[in-house]
Amino acid sequence: MIGKILQKDLLRKKLITLVLFGFIFLSAMLVSSGCNLMLTLTNSLDALFETADAPHFVQMHTGPLDQAEIERWAAAHSLVDVQQTVEMLAIDGTSLFFGQTQEPEADTVMDISFVVQNTRFDFLLNLDNEIIDVAPGEIAVPIYFMQQADLDIGDEVRVVTDAVDMRLVIAAFVRDAQMNPAIAHSKRFVVHPTDYATLRQAIHEVEYLVEFQLTDASRVSEFRNDYLASDMPKRGPSLDEQLFKVLNGLTDGVVAMAIIFLSFLLIIIAILCLRFTILATLEEDYREIGILKAIGIATSDIRRIYLAKYVTLGAVGSILGYLASLLLNQVFVKNITLYFGTAQRSLTMDALPLIAAGSIFIIVLVSCFIVLGRFNRISAVQALRSGSIGESANHIRMLNLTRSTGFNLNVFLGLRDLIQRFRLYWLLGMVYFFCAVIIIIPIHFLTTLQSPTFVSYMGIGHSDIRIDLRQSDDVAERYHRMMQHLHSDTDVFRFTPFVTSQYAVVLNDGSQDFITIETGDFSVFPLEYIDGTAPNEEHEIALSILNAQEMDKHVGDTITLLVADRQQDLVITGTYQDVTDGGRTAQATRQPDPDHILGYTVSLDLQPDVPIDAKVQDYAAMFDPARVTDLDGYVAQTMGNTIAQMEMATWVTGVVGLCISILITALFLNMLISKDAGQIAIKRSLGFSLRHIRMSYLATALFVLGAGIIIGTIFTNTVGQQLVSAVWATLGASHISFVVNPLLAYLVLPLLLIGAVSITTFINLNAIKASAIAEMINE
Amino acid sequence: MSILLESKQLSKTFTLGKQNEHHVLKEVNLTIAQGDYVAVMGASGSGKSTLLYNMSGMDRLTSGSVTFRGQELSHMHDQALSTLRLTGMGFVFQHIHLLKNLSIFDNILLPGYLARKEERHKIDQRARELMEHVGVAQLADHDITQASGGQLQRVGICRALINEPDILFGDEPTGALNSTAADEIMALFASINAAGTTIMLVTHDVKVAAQTERILFMLDGQIVSEKCLGKPSRTGADRKTREEQLSNWLFKMGF
């Protein structure tokens, strides 16, 4: 019998059933997908690192090194398990050509290196996660360039310099545990030893990766300090396995979190809708419930009838949502599959998404139990007499009709209804608020990522051009030559050089650590500081926020550097955000230590009428092998993949937000019109036309929507911004300020929402036409 | 007297499922002149309320025509029909049907503000005068839950008259009232009709019908007979006689 009642009720209220089902389905699908994405990311990353046998610690070095000395040191260190030194040939982008194009990769911000396959660990893998083995005349190209240049197996790669013109055929694409993501600015191409030897004779820019695998990976910080305190080669940054994983997982991790966040919002909306639906149904069936109670049907039996409907919806929605997620997963994990490969599926990977979808069902069930507790409060006598739960006669004197002067009467009635039945409408307002949030936050985040000012989160002030001089034997000479030229170049409006060096620093507990410091004049291209200001004096320093947190330092504190075995105290003047180099950098104005220079950078602005692109090309040729980039291109290349994923996520959340607002409007209006049928009939009998009635409901819906959008926008620009900052704090940018596209955020999107809600309102209000006034009056 | 409301071959059929049609009105021809005071009587299911709703444009007829002030209602767009109902007609229901989220005064004002035939302060003034006239002036700021049935029915009459309609429809206007309240309402109707407003009401109550001038008897969806009682005396002295005449006539009709 319950089955018959269920079937009849589900068919009678198709729209409500469909909408509720839709929310539960979407929520289950997304939470399951998000869970699967996180698990796949973690497992695939781990699998890649395991198959590649990634190093625990890597020290980059430019200049001569004594491998025998390194091996002796490694053998004497108790934490070292295996050591290898990887030699890399640095190829400038101007010497590299892909496919049949005549244009070199001059604009790339990547440091391109050619290597041979490693023999001990840190293996470079192909797309099947097999150790790459290329033949003479063949090359393996990093996935980054496969996507950027749209390359295929069999395409040609040419290396052209004054001394060599080599053509190589792409035989594989490289999965590099260290250098996969775009945010890592180094990329390794794999060639055969024979080809490598030929290139080595022509190209003399060599860098090294001094790599270690430890007996205890958890002690990598201790090992790092030991290494940096030693005489081992260290003219370059040092990195560890943890940083590799964070950088690799950044893009997809952000998407996974966005999906899970969205699914939580959806289930909240589903619960709110469920509550409203159940209460409205209770109101509708109030007299019938009273009759059932009066003839002796137990409350628990009555509740079971209602529960059956929502339990069925919850179960079916969750199951189908889980099944749909299996299809959706193929879309979301595409990037993971490409960059990391596919890990072997485990029981956990299959079970957890299913459990996640099941949790949605549990939430629905619990919510129903709570709301259906109202059955206990329904008295049979009261129900039979009144036939209605009854709304409180909430007469608000301030909104008497006599005060509606200047308002359209129907708009006034809509506003009045909103205030009088606020408890009813707040649900709709909450949903619109959530819709506004899930649409606007991703858009703000995307426009922030795309903005040229995003460089400030990379520890760089905004300039037209950036020139990076890589370490080499003659780098100091090239640097001075470049300075001379820039001083006399009339196209240059202003410029300032920065020198990056490594220093030992004494921590609070007396131990030593190493810190990378960029020295120069930070007033020319200033950063935005979270706290304090840029350093101005020789004894001042600014720290990246992650460095400051790890060292437990604040503005006004001092840190102690070790320079030529002498301690020197520097006062911290400010903290700033930096997502590059693991977020651990510092800035000072003191003279750099010539023995520990890692590199030179120059930021410059051109005169207003000088075209940037042309100048970039001129400088690239003039200062070869320096890397010359325009800042916009620098950000785009570094964050390109993340931006692309964020764009996809923004579209998804935008469409979902819009669909939710449409669905909830349809559901709410459908039920409201049903509830208000009597009042509508009375108004129609008085002479209110359908247009008048629609205007009233539309006004109410738009008032609620407007409030939802306004509060959602305020929330987004305050709490939302802090939420995003909290996520990025782990990478070094803890104070993200949204860069807002006002036209998009404050005009286009609100209009889109208003349009969608208005159209939905009109369509649903057509239902009023269906019944004759007489029928509605007499019902 | 000019014709105000007229139906020709008016028919209304309800479809209650496949091949199950219920002919409620069958080719009804009716003419109501300006100033008429008409009661429609008949057994339950005879079609009297349906006739009222179709004549007032609140229901769409199946065939035939209804003309009000020379305008054909059946082809009118919803907007035009609503305006006609708003400005030319008033309706009083058995269960009053006031809007529960408005005060009593606002319920009366609402159609007036919607029609915008004149400035609001004049509408406010007329609402107060109407309330004064019917004896509910003290209830202006009250909610509808704070008045008796009789008081609310008088409020309903004020609402129906706020736009000075040409015709006032009543569907069992005294059906939910006690005899005292019913007498008060009928007295009001008499005064309204005396002031020139045409009235057409549906009733099963002989005492109510006896206070009107024309009584139409319906049977099986058709007007089968009509009785003219003429204008009642102002003092009500002829009430008993009129009720007897009407009862005898209805008896002959089989009611």
Inter-chain CB proximity A777 and B50 less than 8 Å: no
Whole-angstrom distance between the N-terminal and C-terminal Cα of chain A? Answer: 28
Q: What is the mean pLDDT of residues B37-41?
A: 96
Q: Cβ of B65 under 8 Å from any chain A Cβ?
A: no
Q: Where is average pLDDT lowest: A36-40, A84-88, A148-152, A640-644?
A: A640-644
The pairing of beta strand A566-576 with beta strand A540-544? parallel
Inter-chain CB proximity B101 and A688 less than 8 Å: no
Quote the pLDDT of residue A393.
44
Looking at chain A, which residue has its C-alpha nearest residue B79? A689
Quote the pLDDT of residue A397.
57
Quote the pLDDT of residue B90.
94
The sign of the dihedral angle between the CA atoms of A402, A405, A411, A417 is negative
CB contacts, 8 Å: A405 with chain B: 120
Q: Where is average pLDDT lowest: A221-225, A556-560, B53-57?
A: A221-225
Inter-chain CB proximity B93 and A777 less than 8 Å: yes
For residue A382, pLDDT over 60 is answered with no
For residue A1, pLDDT over 60 is answered with no
Quote the pLDDT of residue A392.
45
CB contacts, 8 Å: A687 with chain B: 82-87, 89, 111, 114-115
Find residue A465's DSSP bridge partners.
A604, A630
The sign of the dihedral angle between the CA atoms of A670, A676, A677, A679 is negative
For residue A390, pLDDT over 50 is answered with no
Q: Where is average pLDDT lowest: A723-737, B12-26, B96-110, B193-207?
A: A723-737
Inter-chain CB proximity B115 and A687 less than 8 Å: yes
Q: Where is average pLDDT lowest: A203-217, A346-360, A508-522, B112-126?
A: A508-522
> From CA A376, how far away is CA A652, in angstroms rounded?
42
Q: What is the DSSP letter of A718?
A: I
Q: What is the mean pLDDT of residues A607-616?
A: 89
Quote the pLDDT of residue B238.
86
For residue B252, pLDDT over 80 is answered with yes
Query: Structure tokens of A478?
Result: 């090239």
**pLDDT tens, position by position, B45-94:** 899 999 999 999 888 889 999 999 999 998 888 889 899 999 999 999 88
Q: What percent of chain A has pLDDT over 70?
A: 88
Optimal mutation site among A411, A685, A696, A768, interface B, most CBs of chain B within 10 A: A685
Looking at chain A, which residue has its C-alpha nearest residue B96? A682
Quote the pLDDT of residue B155.
94
> Which among B59, B97, B110 is the nearest to A774, CB-wise?
B59
3-state SS assignment for residue A563: strand
Return the top range by mean pLDDT from A196-200, A385-389, B96-100: A196-200
Chain B nearest-CA distance from A679, in A, is 6
Quote the pLDDT of residue A645.
76
Quote the pLDDT of residue B40.
96
Q: CA nearest B24: which of B41, B15, B36, B12?
A: B12
Q: Cβ of B74 under 8 Å from any chain A Cβ?
A: no
Quote the pLDDT of residue A205.
81
The separation between CA A426 and the C-alpha centre of its own chain, rounded to angstroms, equals 30
Quote the pLDDT of residue B64.
95
Looking at chain A, which residue has its C-alpha nearest residue B115? A687
Place of tokens 């080499």: A472
Looking at chain A, which residue has its C-alpha nearest residue B163? A686
Inter-chain CB proximity B99 and A405 less than 8 Å: no
Looking at chain A, which residue has its C-alpha nearest residue B97? A682
> Which among A404, A682, A774 is the nearest to B53, CB-wise?
A774
For residue A634, pLDDT over 70 is answered with no
* Chain B residues 111-130 with a CB less than 8 Å from chain A: 111, 113-115, 120, 124
Query: Structure tokens of B58?
Result: 């609140």
> Which among A393, A417, A689 is the nearest to B145, CB-wise?
A393
Quote the pLDDT of residue B17.
66
Alpha carbon distances (Å) from A303 to A18, A318, A366, A660: 22, 22, 13, 29
- Residues of chain A whose beta carbon is less than 8 angstroms from a beta carbon of chain B are 391, 393-395, 397, 400-402, 404-405, 409, 416-417, 420-421, 678-679, 681-692, 769, 772-775, 777-778
Q: Cβ of B60 under 8 Å from any chain A Cβ?
A: yes
Inter-chain CB proximity B111 and A686 less than 8 Å: yes
Quote the pLDDT of residue B253.
84
Chain B nearest-CA distance from A393, in A, is 7
Chain B nearest-CA distance from A392, in A, is 9
Which stretches of A384-471 are assigned E, i.e. beta strand? 465-469
Higher pLDDT, A712 or A238: A712
Q: Where is average pLDDT lowest: A224-238, A628-642, B93-107?
A: A628-642
Q: What is the mean pLDDT of chain A?
A: 82
Quote the pLDDT of residue A6.
60
What is the widest separation between alpha-carbon atoms in chain A?
Answer: 101
Looking at chain B, which residue has its C-alpha nearest residue A401? B106
> From CA B165, how far away is CA B91, in angstroms rounded?
10
Q: Cβ of B103 under 8 Å from any chain A Cβ?
A: yes
> Which among A395, A772, A773 is the nearest to B143, CB-wise?
A395
Q: Where is average pLDDT lowest: A268-272, A500-504, A694-698, B110-114?
A: A268-272
Looking at chain B, which residue has its C-alpha nearest residue A685? B58
Q: How confident is the model at residue A116 (pLDDT cuts 50, 70, 90)?
A: very high
CB contacts, 8 Å: A420 with chain B: 101
Q: Where is average pLDDT lowest: A222-231, A593-602, A651-660?
A: A593-602
Quote the pLDDT of residue A367.
83
- Is residue A211 a contact partner of residue A115, using CB atoms and an 8 Å limit? no
Q: What is the mean pLDDT of residues A592-612?
A: 84
Inter-chain CB proximity A401 and B110 less than 8 Å: yes
Chain A nearest-CA distance from B241, in A, is 35
Buried b (16+ CB within 10 A) or exposed e, B15-38: eeeeeeeeebbbebebebeebbbb
Q: Cβ of B33 under 8 Å from any chain A Cβ?
A: no
For residue A543, pLDDT over 80 is answered with yes
Chain A nearest-CA distance from B75, in A, is 15
Chain B nearest-CA distance from A411, in A, is 12
Inter-chain CB proximity B85 and A682 less than 8 Å: no
The separation between CA A276 and the C-alpha centre of its own chain, rounded to angstroms, equals 33
Q: What is the DSSP letter of A590?
A: S
Inter-chain CB proximity A397 and B141 less than 8 Å: yes
- Is residue A158 a contact partner of residue A137, using CB atoms and an 8 Å limit? no
CB contacts, 8 Å: A392 with chain B: none
Q: What is the mean pLDDT of residues A168-175?
A: 95
Looking at chain B, which residue has its C-alpha nearest residue A682? B97
Beta-sheet strand order (sheet of B89-92): B89-92, B167-171, B198-202, B37-42, B214-219, B222-228
**pLDDT tens, position by position, A15-60:** 777 878 888 888 888 888 888 888 888 888 888 889 999 999 999 8
- What is the three-state SS of chain B? CCEEEEEEEEEEEEECCCCCEEEEEEEEEEEEECCCEEEEEECCCCCHHHHHHHHCCCCCCCEEEEEECCEECCCCCHHHHHHHHHHHEEEECCCCCCCCCCCHHHHHHHHHHHHCCCCHHHHHHHHHHHHHHHCCHHHCCCCHHHCCHHHHHHHHHHHHHCCCCCEEEEECCCCCCCHHHHHHHHHHHHHHHHCCCEEEEECCCHHHHCCCCEEEEEECCEEEEEEECCCCCCCCCCHHHHHHHHHHHHHHHCC
For residue A753, pLDDT over 80 is answered with yes
Inter-chain CB proximity A772 and B85 less than 8 Å: no
Quote the pLDDT of residue B39.
96
Q: How confident is the model at residue A194 (pLDDT cuts 50, 70, 90)?
A: very high
Chain B nearest-CA distance from A409, in A, is 7
Q: Cβ of B34 under 8 Å from any chain A Cβ?
A: no
Q: What is the mean pLDDT of residues A499-519?
A: 81
Q: Where is average pLDDT lowest: A133-137, A390-394, B246-250?
A: A390-394
Higher pLDDT, A726 or A439: A439
Inter-chain CB proximity B97 and A777 less than 8 Å: yes
Q: What is the mean pLDDT of chain B?
A: 90
Helix/strand number for chain A, H first, E second: 24, 20
Optimal mutation site among B58, B79, B142, B157, interface A, most CBs of chain A within 10 A: B58
For residue A11, pLDDT over 70 is answered with no
Q: How confident is the model at residue B254 (pLDDT cuts 50, 70, 90)?
A: confident
Global ipTM: 0.90
Q: What is the mean pLDDT of residues A661-665?
A: 85
> From CA B198, how far away is CA B168, in angstroms rounded?
6
For residue A5, pLDDT over 70 is answered with no
Looking at chain A, which residue has its C-alpha nearest residue B103? A395
Inter-chain CB proximity B109 and A685 less than 8 Å: no
Q: How confident is the model at residue A391 (pLDDT cuts 50, 70, 90)?
A: very low
**pLDDT tens, position by position, B149-173:** 889 999 999 999 999 999 999 999 9
Higher pLDDT, A250 or A617: A617
Quote the pLDDT of residue A731.
59
